[in-house]
Structure formats: structure tokens, C-alpha cells
Structure 1
């Protein structure tokens, strides 16, 4: 059984935003008998691993959290949540798994086709999970390069492909390894368009707030979201025409 233990990470000098505190309040509301464990610089030794040491020195705290979540789950078991995840139901029906996670949906900005990808913002396991061990081993051999960042989702994708898990947003299970649920269970919001797909299956919603970004990166993320919305609404070619027209008018 997966223990009733929620892990979350917060590294760096910035305080928890008000929105994050509201999301954590939803955890307490729907998971009242779960222990909640915060991981940060004071209880996670980021200096012990070359990858996290370099990531922390570069101020890339989200990449420190990527490793921290894997270590916490492998050592203690429980459920990891990103700080912008809102609970709307309980995880109790999933605690029988050895390990569970889910897909997330995105969109190709040029073809406007929906995409399906691994995610690491909501996942749970028993201590000693083989999947978490596999991901942890990847980080032991990975060099942190700020110019060529490799996300934790990319590592999950490599592992999934190795084990024959198909990125099709359908429930798939490898007994004793992982059960991967469709996106509407844990990732009911599209990662690219932010369109909500809440269903009777939905347990939580990942809002993709990017709370770990600094101000300049937050502005850049907002720009990307605006461009994504234009591409989704107008199509790639028409959105580029509109952007070019706006640039000419602002000269």
C-alpha cells in the first residue's frame, strides 16, 4: 500500500505565493488524514549530488526539485504533488498500486494536434519503487547543462518507451512497476492550451502556474502562453501574420 504521505518541494529564496497556499489548503481539505511533507534546502542535501549541486548554483530550483521528489518517493513512498496542483477528490482509491502516475495532454503549436506526454507533477508509489529507482539512476549519470536542459518528463518518456508504454492517453499498467492513468484523472488541464477537461474521473487539476519562475521568466512564460493561444485560435500561419502586423505598427 502507498502510505498517506504527500511530498512537495520549494527551493530558493522566494516565499510561497498566495495561490500555492490555497492549493495546499485544498490538499488538507480533501486529504485530511494524509501527512504533508515539505522538502527544501534544510532537509534535502542538494550538495550530495553533482546534478542538484550545479542546478542549485545556477538558480534552476525546479531541476533540484525534480531529483528531490524522486528521492523522497523512493525512500519514503507516498504521493508527490507540484505546488500548483488543486485537489478535488481523494487519492484513497489509488493507494493499492505499487506505483501510479498519469499522462498529460498538450498541443502541437503548428499542426494544432493534441499530444500526449508523461508528467511528473502528480505521482505516487510505495517505498523502493522500481520506476523511481530507474529515474534516480538516470540522474546519477546526468550532467546539468543550463544551455541544454533535460526535463524530468523527458526521462520518464525514455523509461516508458523502454518498457513499451504507449503515449496514447489510455490506462496502461505494468504489474509491479507502474499504472499510468489517462490525463483526465490527475492532469485535467491541457499543458499547452490550459483548456480544462474535468470529468467524473478527475481527482486533481494541475494549473501550470510556473510558481518556480522568477519575474523575467514569468513574463516570458506569459508571452509564450499568448502566442500559444493565438496559434490555437487562428492557426500557425494566420497567427504569424498577425504578429508581423503588430510588430510593424509598433515600430
Structure 2
């Protein structure tokens, strides 16, 4: 988190259950009750991106440089590897239809199966967003513009070295001039239900980064005092 100091002018705002009612979503409620907190957080990050706009980052993301020259984008998406999208760093303008599609998918489903059991494995956000978007849009990895606008047909995806900055399949860190972040995949989802905290980071900026959303599940000992 020390690297976030490079994002000068960004303001942190705490997201907790005063901001999000876990009972407002069957998916979230069931995931929490099953102690599958990461799957509840998947919904909440989509909810925050759609309703507030901004950039979501996992808390194990290292910032290399600010996102300032990406602020006019309608959305920010990159590949993690040749087979999947990076879900640890995503951005969207408020009301972006891409994340409305994701919310609609979650809202039409329960986390538990018809027998009240946890599916094996539960669908995580990378799989959800890729399956949802493939049904409606063309995913274009032939990226040619620094300011993709949503046209309702095509989703333009940045290369892996923009946000993940790890090669495939060896996961070695590879930083290029175009790199903004490094995703360290540190496995931040640990601890108790009580320790689940949500952070939102806010910036006065252009279209997309009015808010930067950060979610982490940590235990009370690690968290310290509120």
C-alpha cells in the first residue's frame, strides 16, 4: 500500500455495512452466511463500479504510476493472461452498462444451489464477467486506443502488462513503459466475517476516476482500531 502514495490527490473513504446492506442482495447474504466472503465482495465491487464509478483495485496491487491519462475512458479492463481478464484492477464510469450486465447476472441467481449447498467451485468474478460479456459483446484484444468508449458492441481490453504486469505462465514480474500497476496475487482474503471492511477511494478527476474502490477481508487483529 506504500506505493499508493503515488496517487496524489486521492482521498480514502471507508466502505462498511453502513454503506452496503448485505440483506439487499440474496447472493451477498448467502455468501456471507456461508463465510465465502470473497464471493460476496465480487458482487459489491460490481455494485460500486456501476452505481458510483471509479477504479477497483485489490489491496495487493502495487501502483507504478497514476492513472491520470486514462481518466477519460468509459471503462478500464485488461487481460491477466491469454485466457482471462484481470479482475483485481477494473474501472468504469458511473452507470456503465458493462457492470449493469454483471449485476443483472448476480441478481438473477442465488449463491447457494437449489439444495442449499455451496456450488463446487463457486463462480468467481473473472469467470462471471467473461461469460456475461461474451454473450453480448465482442472482446477485442487488438487494443488501438488509449481512451476506449463504450459503443454497445465491442469491449477493448488492455494488454496484460498494463495492470497485471506478470508474464504467462511463469508469473515473473515484467514492467514495461505502459505498466500502471503490478498485481502480486498475495491472497488477501483471510480472517473473520466481522473483519470484512470495504474501502472506497475518491478523486476529483475526469470521467472515470471520481472514485477508486478497494476491498479487503482482514481479521480484527490485522485491522486495528477503526
Question: How far is 1:187 from its partner?
Answer: 0.7
Which stretches in structure 2 are left out of the alignment for 5+ residues?
Answer: 113-117, 193-226
Question: How far is 1:213 from its partner?
Answer: 3.6
**Alignment counterpart, residue 78 of structure 1, candidates 54, 69, 78:** 54
Question: How far is 1:63 from its partner?
Answer: 0.9
**Alignment counterpart, residue 8 of structure 2, candidates 28, 32, 42:** 32
Say which SS state the counterpart of residue 135 (structure 1) adopts.
Answer: helix
Which stretches in structure 1 are left out of the alignment for 5+ residues?
Answer: 1-22, 106-114, 216-251
Task: Report if aligned partners of 2:80, 2:164 keep a CA contact under 8 Å in 1.
Answer: yes
Task: Report if aligned partners of 1:121, 1:206 keep a CA contact under 8 Å in 2.
Answer: yes
Pairs aligned (count) = 180
Say which SS state the counterpart of residue 165 (structure 1) adopts.
Answer: strand
* 1:158 matched to 2:139: no
Task: Determine the C-alpha separation between the residues in 2 that align with 1:100 and 1:68.
Answer: 18
Q: Higher relative contact order at CA 8 Å, sep ≥6: structure 1 or structure 2?
A: 2
Report runs of 4+ in structure 1 exceeding 3 Å deviation.
172-179, 190-193
Task: Determine the C-alpha separation between the residues in 2 that align with 1:158 and 1:31.
Answer: 32
Task: Report if aligned partners of 2:84, 2:130 keep a CA contact under 8 Å in 1.
Answer: yes
TM value normalised by structure 1: 0.66
**Alignment counterpart, residue 188 of structure 2, candidates 206, 211, 225:** 211
Aligned Cα root-mean-square deviation (Å): 2.2
* 1:127 matched to 2:94: yes
Matches within 5 A, 1:157-196: 157-162=130-135, 163-166=137-140, 170-171=142-143, 175-176=150-151, 178-190=155-167, 193-196=170-173
**Larger Rg belongs to:** 1
Task: Report if aligned partners of 1:50, 1:143 keep a CA contact under 8 Å in 2.
Answer: yes
Question: How far is 1:58 from its partner?
Answer: 1.1
Bigger fraction of residues in helix: 1
Question: How far is 1:190 from its partner?
Answer: 4.6
Deviations 1:64-92 (A, max 9, x none): 11111111111111111111111010111
Task: Determine the C-alpha separation between the residues in 2 that align with 1:192 and 1:165.
Answer: 21
Question: How far is 1:199 from its partner?
Answer: 0.8
Task: Report if aligned partners of 1:97, 1:179 keep a CA contact under 8 Å in 2.
Answer: no
Question: How far is 1:174 from its partner?
Answer: 6.2
Task: Report if aligned partners of 2:39, 2:124 keep a CA contact under 8 Å in 1.
Answer: yes
